[in-house]
Amino acid sequence: MSQAASQRRVGTNLTTGPIMKSLLLFAFPIVLTNLVQQLYSMVDLIVIGQYVGSIGTVGVNTGGEMADLVSPVAMGFATAGQIFIAQLVGAGDDRRIKRTVGTLLSFTTLLSIILAAVAILFSHPILQMLNCPEEAMFEAEAYMIITAIGYPFIFGYNAICGILRGMGESKRPLIFILVAAVINIVLDIVLVAVFRLDAAGTAIATALSQMGSCMAAFCFLWKRREHFDFELKPGYFKMDREILFVLIRLGIPQVVRSMFVRVGMLWVNANANAFGLVVSATNSVGNKLQKFLEVCVQGIDTASASMVGQNLGAKKIDRAGKTTICTYIAATCCAAVSSALCLLIPHQIFRLFTTDEAVIELGAVFLRIFVLHFFASALTGSFQAMVTGCGFVELGFLLGLLDGIVCKIGFSILFMNVFGMGYTGLWWGVACSRILPGCICVGYYLSGRWKTRKLLSEK
């Protein structure tokens, strides 16, 4: 790479320096970004739980299932862009980086519009499929339709953040999500607590916050356009067939894996809803808490995938392998902290989201069960980052099928029906679902086959 190109680059070179230090410094802003994202998402439940009650909680959670299904699609293709760009950065291929940015932005925008139309047109049938309680149907439908308007901004934000992280820049996405957090929190309080718009108010706050983060990300892209050769011209956004094929080839398994997980969770949530309002509300709050308590692990895994990608692109095989081990050590420490909180103060944690004592008591059971999930996620996510970073899409697809469908639903049925554990069996099934995929990821790492894979950046 030329000296001028090197000076123009956005982000950090992840192929040099102490591995653990580089990983943690790169991961820290990603962890904070995920933390803020989960915090402002949880504000919705806190405000709704305190001012509307369990009906509002179930309405927001069930109405948000479609957004929860769409977000992994956005993140899946953003991750595809992130990994491809990371390998291109490691290989020093600036020309293809530019073409990748334009192709990714165009493709994800088109996809988001299609998904928004589906959510708006079929909101009621979708909620009926989810066994949404009748008393919460109006709130859930309002939430789903309004948040669907924000889908293009979800895709835009994630795509730009994927581009930046692939180039080794993890600080700017934190600023973008802080913009969203401020908008969301302020509007949640104003629209729900003051104007009493209930779930619709929360949905409006969410959609506008997503718009804010996307606009902040786009403004940065424009301000630093010389680093990307970025232009607001139709030619820049022309989709390159070769690059689009790579993004789809890498992105679809990422999306399918996430979709499998979401479909599995939809099945779990629908079954939880069938047990009544208390179990449904406990499951709703518990799902949010589980995501929140795993943000550190997920942030480290995201950073690891970029670091592995850059090092493999630069042909630093040993460094890529050592990055995976450092990832597992850091992720396990984070899982231990989350587990300690769930074991020591579960009632206090749940009381932040509801005043219903029955939900609080059952919530303590939920959190103690999910201690197993935290450690399983630390193992699976760390070694799966190697699978993602090297671009092994076929194994990623298999892992998604196992994690989301085979293990999550299979174990839940086993515990719930065969062992007669009822609704707690659903939660035990989810907690155990990542163990088998984790073992497969570790086996692949130990086999060393990732060292000889042809990279996505190689023509």
What is the rounded CA–CA span in Å between residue 70 and residue 77? 11
CA distances from 403 to 156, 207, 365, 429, 430 (A): 27, 30, 23, 11, 9
Residue 9 has what pLDDT?
A: 57
SS (H, E, C) 315-342: CCHHHHHHHHHHHHHHHHHHHHHHHHHH
Residue 106 has what pLDDT?
A: 95
> What letter does residue 90 receive in the DSSP assignment?
H
Residue 170 has what pLDDT?
A: 86
Q: Which ranges of 274-369 would DSSP assign to H, the alpha helix? A: 277-293, 295-313, 317-344, 346-351, 357-369
3-class DSSP state of 1: coil
Dihedral through CA 84, CA 89, CA 91, CA 92, nearest 10?
Answer: 140
Report pTM.
0.77
Residue 57 tokens read as: 């909680």
What is the rounded CA–CA span in Å between residue 93 and residue 457? 9
Residue whose tokens read 């949640």: 188
Residue 253 has what pLDDT?
A: 81
172-181 burial, b if ≥16 CB within 10 A, otherwise e?
bbbebbbbbb
Residue 134 has what pLDDT?
A: 82
Q: Give φ, ψ of 25 to 5 degrees.
A: -65, -40
pLDDT tens digit at each of 459 positions of the chain: 444 444 445 667 888 889 999 999 999 998 988 888 777 766 776 787 777 766 777 778 777 878 877 888 998 899 899 989 988 888 888 888 888 999 999 999 999 999 999 999 999 898 888 778 888 888 889 999 999 999 999 999 999 999 998 888 888 888 998 999 899 889 988 998 888 888 888 889 989 999 999 999 999 988 887 776 778 888 888 899 999 998 998 888 878 877 787 788 878 888 888 888 888 888 888 888 888 888 889 899 989 988 998 899 888 999 999 999 999 999 999 999 999 999 999 999 888 877 788 889 999 999 999 999 999 999 999 999 999 888 887 888 888 888 888 998 999 999 988 888 888 999 999 999 999 999 999 999 999 999 888 776 565
Domain segments of the chain as ranges? 19-452
CA 95 to chain centre: 29
Residue 368 tokens read as: 């103690």
Contacts of 247 (CB under 8 A, 6+ apart): 77, 80, 81, 84, 100, 103, 104, 107
What is the rounded CA–CA span in Å between residue 66 and residue 62? 8
CB 14 within 8 A of CB 168: yes
What is the rounded CA–CA span in Å between residue 149 and residue 203? 10
Complete DSSP assignment for 375-391: HHHHHHHHHHHHHHHTT
